[in-house]
Structure 1
Amino acid sequence: MNAIRLLGIRDTPLSVDEVLGAVGDHGAGGTTLFVGTVRNQDHGKPVTLLSYSAHPSAEAELRRVAEKVAADFPVVALAAVHRVGDLRLGDLAVIVAVAAAHRGEAFEAARRLIDDLKGEVPIWKHQIFADGSAEWVGACD
């Protein structure tokens, strides 16, 4: 059975329950979940608007990253979803989950999954600050 249970780049709100449900498995003794949310500041400056954009290849790159994690770690299941479009404070921007036989494997694989997603999947963040300045971040954050 394929360990990759759910992947997606979406313009609709993300669900922790959906992602956690996707990795549920009786063979897993540990499940690690990471949820990235829109915060109210960055670089010590208040954020008023945040928008994510994705390259058309983003889903294929997300699959490549997930396949590499599944190959490198003894995972039972993994899932990753990222939101695009305009997000408000507190909105969920990214969710990853990994289930493995043991907690250490689940933690290590989940850390690699979120780090590689952020570093390799072409998703860009545009932040507008309260002072009117703006910033593009080269990979999702």
Structure 2
Amino acid sequence: MAKFKKSSSTSQDIPTAALPDIIFMLLFFFMVTTVLRETTIMVEQKLPKSTQLNKLERKSLVSYVYIGKPKQPNLYGTEPKIQVNDVFIETKDIVRFVNVEKDKLSEVERDQITMSMKVDIEAKMGIVSDVQEEFREANARKVLYSSLKRTD
């Protein structure tokens, strides 16, 4: 009887030719979907401290309003300014800002929008009360005052 020799020339290597393509696709995906910073804060921010804080449920329904002295006083002056979305606005423009922010949301979520005020501890109460009045005119009833947690 003749012996048949089993000749097998198959290789046990794993093909890695497509591996760089997969890595670059993942890299591009994360580069496109990652948000590094939403706004550049151009006012001073020393937030007050508080003892009782509540965490927000949905941050997508929050629009931020920053109030404080400008970081560049030679360009913008030394009086407290109102900043929203990388621009300074006047108190009369707040109603328009709120309406633009509401238009970004779906109709169901428009009444759930929360306006978060990040006010510098040195800011005068007059500008804060003016902003509150404008929020009332714009029918933005949920107002949040941001603060830091007291550690003592």
Tell whether the structures are fold-level matches, with TM greater than 0.5.
no
Interval containing the TM-score (normalised by the shorter chain): under 0.3
Report the TM-score when normalising by structure 1: 0.28
Report the TM-score when normalising by structure 2: 0.26
More helix by share: 2
* Bigger Cα Rg: 2
